[in-house]
Amino acid sequence: MMILAKLAVGTATTLALATVYTFREGTVRVDVDEHHDGGTHVHVWAPAAVVPMALHFVPDRNLQQVCQHSEEWAPLARIAAHELSRYPNTTFVEVEDGEQHVKVSTVGSKIQVDVDGPDENIHVAVPLVMIDDVISQLQARQPAA
């Protein structure tokens, strides 16, 4: 009985710590809804910590093109992500064009892009911390010159 209790506590603690670790960077949300017959409906909700880990399994040839020019955009993306985290809950760009509405904003510690249109709705929310991790991963995967 005692051993079972210890095992249960150990498993619960490990699970709790693993959950905390996985969700420490928040979640990535991608929603795509096409408003036509047979249109795509994609709803992804995943822990942000999983994304840099998943990059390990992407073949080099698929990342080559992204990595090739990373020295051009990576410092900019890194600085922008870091600076944006200082402005939570702020709308930076908003475009309204009759039926279409595009918004780029920060919601808490995430950058969120919302596109609402007559043909489709796209909502993407990415934790800013994750951007830095992904860039580090991509730079590490850069082929040596």
Partner 1 sequence: MSFCSQPFRAAAVALAAAAVLAPISLLAQGNTTSSSLSSSSERWLHVRVVNTDDKNETVKVNVPLEFAEKVLPAINKNELHDGKLRINHSDMNGVDIKTLLDAIRTSKDGEFVTVQCPDANVRVAKQSGFMLVHVTEKATSSKNGKPVEKSRVEVKVPMKVVDALFSAGKDELDLVAALKALSVNGDTELVSVKSDDATVHVWLDSKNISD
Residue 33: what residue type? D
Determine, following the binding rule CB under 8 A, whether residue 139 of this chain makes contact with partner 1. no
Smallest gap from Cβ 59 to partner 1, in A, equals 29
Smallest gap from Cβ 88 to partner 1, in A, equals 5
DSSP assignment letter at 99: T
Determine, following the binding rule CB under 8 A, whether residue 18 of this chain makes contact with partner 1. no
Q: SS3 helix, strand, coil % of the chain, rounded to 5? A: 45, 30, 25
Determine, following the binding rule CB under 8 A, whether residue 118 of this chain makes contact with partner 1. no
Nearer to partner 1, 6 or 41 (CB): 6
Please state the three-class secondary structure of 16-57 as a single string: HHHHHHHHCCCEEEEEEEECCCCCCEEEEEEECCHHHHHHCC
Residues that bind partner 1 (CB under 8 A): 2, 5-6, 9, 12-13, 16-17, 19-20, 23-24, 72, 75-76, 79-80, 83-88, 90-98, 108-109
